[in-house]
Chains A and B, each alone.
Chain A
Amino acid sequence: MNVTQFSISASSGIPIYKQLCTQIERMVLTNVFSQGEVLPSVRQVASELEVNPMTVSKAYGLLEERGVLTRLRGKGMAVAKQAQEKSNQERLLVLSAMIDELVKEATLMGLTEDELTKLFKEKLGAEYSLADIKE
């Protein structure tokens, strides 16, 4: 696992610990991080991202509470065993928040519902045909 995979925007209205939580959770759900994989230390992440170490501890602690991460004695934090076996419900919840953002953005841009649906279907089609090729 590499710290450079994280990206934060300090000037955003979303607190940095929340940005980290969302990113790590998403990476776990999409199997970017594998089960049992050890995360970089709080110090590493804080130095690399140039943020307060307490912010990183807070994110790790929260993810531990949610069962995404687990604390390994003497080794730090690792991706919890059950984390990837999350129910579909939770995956949908994560996606739902992202779609909210998307819809908000589209509304601001003045896209119609039809245009957005069409675009979404196109993207969906491309993604599926890509999966076909891979298989």
Chain B
Amino acid sequence: MSTVISIENLNKSYDKQSVLSGLNWKISQGDIVGLLGKNGAGKSTLLKSLLNIDEIDGGQISVFDEAHHSLSLLSKEKIGYVPQENDEITWLPVADLIKFRKQFYQQWSDEKVNYYLDKWQIDTRKKMIELSPGQAQKVLIILALASMPELLIFDEPASALDPAGRRDLLKELVSLACDENITVIFSTHITSDLERLASKVAILDKGKICYFDDLDKTKENVVQLVMHGQQLSQQQIPNALRSDIKGNNTNCVVTKVDLMWLEEQKQQGVKIDINPMGLEDIFLEITAS
């Protein structure tokens, strides 16, 4: 699969406060990536940096094999971006805003625009500023989908959407993933938003992408172990994120079960339960350590 986004050694700070430092990340075509991070981890900053909305302090970013700060028109047209907050002209009525945006794109689906305007009951005579945050967010989503992008970037798409709107968006993304080889990044701190759709999960913590892997592999690898009749510290357990001793048992979380070690333990007669973990717990464990 070809690389759609490549980030090397990205640095970015605001008011001398470092937000991203030495961040590396590669996204391949067809990836549907959930970008997780606590509030204030820098998810929006990362997305805005790679789109060249925010200037970076250092590092290299390429999008569709071009430097992110000098993308060709053709590449720009292939990107759809839904910001967290409305950055469109607030005094334009929705209908005019759509007309205005349409002229910048060679590809534009009026069909899609009309379908969602109707489905989401958006009054196109209203100005952007007159819409509720949820309605405004929906207009931004429509604008991003209309140009039939190859790369879709959502910054917290669920923050202003009601559950029905979230479902509609999920359905649209599933259908896009079925038809085209679309690449999607969506940032969120709500793990349930990405568990159905994401093929990969990335965790942004302390200025870096500290974790990036297949969602399935993540759920298979990161597990909780309960070791009966054993009192072991984190250092004694391979790949342990933490270890708690509770009574006679050790309760720990590992990023991957070391099978050789597991076999050894079993041969010594140690009883070990392996419990799968949901993504929310995994996220909390990884960002806590």
**What residues make up the interface of A, taking CB atoms closer than 8 Å to B?**
10-18, 42-43, 46-47, 49-55, 58, 104
* Most chain A CB inside 10 Å of its own CB: which residue of B170, B196, B273: B196
Chain A residues with CB below 8 A from B216, complex form: 15-18, 55, 58
Chain A residues with CB below 8 A from B280, complex form: 11
Indicate with 1 or 0, residue by residue over B271-289, a CB within 8 angstroms of chain A CB atoms. Answer: 0010111111100000000
CB of B182 to closest CB in A, whole Å = 11
Distance A47 CA – B174 CA, assembled complex (angstroms): 6
In the complex, the answer to whether B192 meets A52 with C-beta atoms within 8 Å is no
In the complex, the answer to whether A14 meets B196 with C-beta atoms within 8 Å is no
Residue from B170, B171, B276 within 8 A of A13 (CB atoms) = B276
In the complex, the answer to whether A14 meets B174 with C-beta atoms within 8 Å is no
Q: Which 7 A-B pairs have the closest CB atoms?
A: A13-B276, A15-B216, A10-B195, A13-B277, A10-B196, A15-B219, A53-B178
Residue from B171, B174, B175, B192 within 8 A of A10 (CB atoms) = B192
Distance A12 CA – B174 CA, assembled complex (angstroms): 20
Distance A51 CA – B192 CA, assembled complex (angstroms): 12
Given A12-B278, A13-B275, does the pair A52, B171 have CB atoms closer than 8 Å? Answer: no
In the complex, the answer to whether B199 meets A11 with C-beta atoms within 8 Å is no
CB of A103 to closest CB in B, whole Å = 11
In the complex, the answer to whether B199 meets A14 with C-beta atoms within 8 Å is no
Indicate with 1 or 0, residue by residue over B197-219, a CB within 8 angstroms of chain A CB atoms. Answer: 11100000000000000011001
In the complex, the answer to whether B220 meets A51 with C-beta atoms within 8 Å is no
The answer to the question of B46 belonging to the interface, with a C-beta cut-off of 8 Å to chain A, is no
Residue from B191, B197, B276 within 8 A of A51 (CB atoms) = B197
Within 8 A of A (CB), among B154-198: 167, 170-171, 174-175, 177-178, 191-192, 195-198
Distance A50 CA – B175 CA, assembled complex (angstroms): 9
The answer to the question of B151 belonging to the interface, with a C-beta cut-off of 8 Å to chain A, is no
Chain B residues with CB below 8 A from A55, complex form: 199, 216
Given A50-B171, A50-B196, A52-B199, does the pair A11, B178 have CB atoms closer than 8 Å? Answer: no
The answer to the question of B143 belonging to the interface, with a C-beta cut-off of 8 Å to chain A, is no
Chain A residues with CB below 8 A from B219, complex form: 13-15
In the complex, the answer to whether A15 meets B192 with C-beta atoms within 8 Å is no
CB of B281 to closest CB in A, whole Å = 8
Residue from A13, A15, A18, A52 within 8 A of B197 (CB atoms) = A52
In the complex, the answer to whether A13 meets B278 with C-beta atoms within 8 Å is yes
Chain B residues with CB below 8 A from A47, complex form: 171, 174-175, 178
* Most chain B CB inside 10 Å of its own CB: which residue of A15, A16, A47: A15
Chain B residues with CB below 8 A from A14, complex form: 219, 276
The answer to the question of B32 belonging to the interface, with a C-beta cut-off of 8 Å to chain A, is yes
In the complex, the answer to whether B196 meets A52 with C-beta atoms within 8 Å is yes
Given A15-B220, A42-B178, A52-B199: 11 more A-B contacts, CB < 8 Å: A10-B195, A13-B275, A18-B216, A46-B177, A46-B178, A47-B171, A51-B174, A52-B196, A53-B178, A54-B199, A58-B216
Distance A49 CA – B171 CA, assembled complex (angstroms): 9
